[in-house]
Amino acid sequence: MKRVIENDEHHPLDGVQVLIVDDDEPLRGSIVRGLRRAGAIVGEASGYHEAVALLSSRRFVPDAALVDLRLGDGWGLELVEALADPAVCCAFSVMTALGGHTEACLIGAGAVDLLRKPAPLAALIPVVQATAARSRFVREYRGAPPTPAPASEPADREARSRRALHNTIAAARVQYTLSEREQEVTRLICREFSDDEIAASLSVSVSTVKRIEKSLHCKTGARTRAGIVRACYELLEPA
């Protein structure tokens, strides 16, 4: 049966499956306890290899992952491949106490957001929500939900994914008064195209793509590519 998530003010993460990967055991324990109080279902790993083993086993398929940047046996960003596996398809955000790592660099590596450690629960919750929203969007587009679909659900997932993306862009067009070209670029950003790939697909220069993205940042109020996707997707979220 498909999992239904109904959040409330006391359990804002009710039913959301979150993976915490951090080699700092006391801090990890504190994060796990806080997220569980917020209603999340939490899995944890103390390092890269333990996280890969957990994801590979499919015993726990997270909706969002919070990953420490530097682990005792590797770097958190090395988990990108395991999290991107079609059977997992989970977005992630990065936690770090290290300086010198800008948000732009981490977002460019695929992170939804960046948290400076130690982060209070009030800061963790919106990041988990945004990360889970990113996972839902990508899963819907790719037609790869983590749980089996009911027998009554239409078989053509690809068609439903295309409709979901179409509806997202249509909502963004109205809300943010996007031009036709801005809609095209937004659609490709949502499909995780790089600037070079967008330029080739639309037969324009990379500088033109960057100019359009700058306009999208201004119109949506987003600072990053992930923020553009989140801004568009959240237009379809229930109030």
Q: What is the CATH number of the domain that holds 219?
A: 1.10.10.10
Amino acid in position 199 = A
Task: Band the pLDDT of 143: cuts 50, 70, 90.
Answer: low
In a domain, 7, yes or no: no
- Residue that finishes a domain, picked among 142, 173, 208: 142
The answer to whether residues 213 and 116 belong to one domain is no
Q: Are residues 132 and 171 part of one domain? A: no
Average confidence (pLDDT) over 119-129: 87
Report, as an integer, the average pLDDT of 148-157: 44
- Residue 234 scores a pLDDT above 60: no
More confident residue, 160 or 61: 61
* Residue 165 token pair: 């993306």
Contact 71, 64 (CB under 8 A): no
Looking at the structure, tell me whether residues 197 and 100 fall in a common domain.
no
Which pLDDT band holds residue 195 (cuts at 50, 70, 90)? Answer: confident
Based on the domain organization, do 99 and 200 belong to the same domain?
no
Q: What gap in Å lies between CA 47 and CA 145, rounded to an integer?
A: 26
Q: Is residue 57 part of a domain?
A: yes
Entry field: residues in the chain: 239
| Per-residue confidence (pLDDT) for residue 68, from 0 to 100 | 87
Establish if 3 belongs to a structural domain: no
Both 137 and 163 in a single domain? no
The verdict on residue 10 lying in a domain is no
Model confidence at 142, in pLDDT bands (50, 70, 90)?
low
**What is the average per-residue pLDDT within 11-19?**
86
Determine the average pLDDT of the residues in 30-53: 90
Percent of the chain at pLDDT > 90 equals: 7
> Using one digit for the tens of pLDDT, what is the confidence trace for 197-219?
888 888 888 888 988 888 888 87
Give the DSSP letter string of the chain: --------SS-TTTT-EEEEE-S-HHHHHHHHHHHHHTT-EEEEESSHHHHHHHHHHTS---SEEEEESEETTEEGGGGHHHHHSTTT--EEEEEE--SS--HHHHHHTT-S-EEESSPPHHHHHHHHHHHHHHHHHHHHHHT--SSPPPTTS-S-HHHHHHHHHHHHHHHHHHHHT--HHHHHHHHHHHTT--HHHHHHHHT--HHHHHHHHHHHHHHH--SSHHHHHHHHHHTTS--
Do 178 and 94 fall within a single domain? no
Same domain for 58 and 161, yes or no, is no
Q: Which backbone phi and psi does 72 adopt, to 5 degrees? A: -65, -25
Which pair of tokens denotes residue 54?
A: 């957990």
pLDDT, mean of residues 129-149: 69
Higher per-residue confidence, 63 vs 227: 63
Comparison of pLDDT for 23 and 156, the residue scoring more: 23
pLDDT at 232: 67
Contact 31, 20 (CB under 8 A): yes
Domain count across the chain:
2
Same domain assignment for residues 137 and 165: no
The CATH number of whichever domain residue 27 belongs to comes to 3.40.50.2300
Q: How far is the C-alpha of 137 from the C-alpha of 226, rounded, in Å?
A: 11
> Which tokens belong to 114?
């960046």
pLDDT category at 18 given cuts 50, 70, 90 is: very high
Give residue 19's pLDDT band: very low, low, confident or very high (50, 70, 90): very high
Asked if 176 and 119 sit in the same domain, the reply is no
pLDDT in tens, 66-115: 998 888 887 777 787 788 878 888 888 888 776 554 455 565 567 788 88
Domain limit, last residue, from 107, 142, 177: 142
Show which of 112, 142, 172 is a domain's final residue: 142
For residues 132 and 213, membership in a common domain is answered with no
Q: Which of 57, 63, 69 is nearest to 24 (CA)?
A: 69
Lookup: tokens for 126: 């919106």
Has residue 155 got a pLDDT over 60? no
- The C-alpha angle 108, 110, 116, rounded to 5 degrees, equals 85
Structural domain containing residue 210: 157-234
For residue 24, being part of any structural domain is answered with yes
Structural domain includes residue 61? yes
pTM: 0.55
